[in-house]
Amino acid sequence: MDDDDTIERAARARRGTPFLTTDQAAAYLALSARLLRKLRTSGKGPVFRRHSRYVQYHIDDLDNWSREHSAREVRHAKR
């Protein structure tokens, strides 16, 4: 799927419904869908909801998660 198309779909979804698919949420956060799935599996990603068999992200939860992961400087891990 083309990134521009995914971003446009996310924009349309935001206007129509607050819930985004994994692909749409990843585009909204500027992450790959694969990374977002890994974060979800490890419990480190944004809050998600399972509607039937579909995983969906509420736009407010994505904004909150992004805000919580804001930083003013880069910290390097000690080796």
56 and 19 Cβ atoms separated by less than 8 Å: yes
Query: Could you list the mean pLDDT of each consecutive 10-residue stretch along the chain, which spans 79 residues?
Result: 72 77 95 96 96 93 93 74
CA–CA separation, 39 and 23 (whole Å): 14
CA–CA separation, 12 and 17 (whole Å): 8
Residue 7 has what pLDDT? 77
How would you class 20 by CB atoms within 10 Å of its CB: exposed for 0-12, middle for 13-18, buried for 19 or more?
A: buried
Residue 43 has what pLDDT? 95
Q: Which residue from 13, 18, 21 is spatially nearest to 37, judged by alpha carbons?
A: 21
Q: What is the DSSP-derived secondary structure letter of residue 30?
A: T
Residue 64 has what pLDDT? 94
Residue 70 has what pLDDT? 86
- pTM of the prediction? 0.72
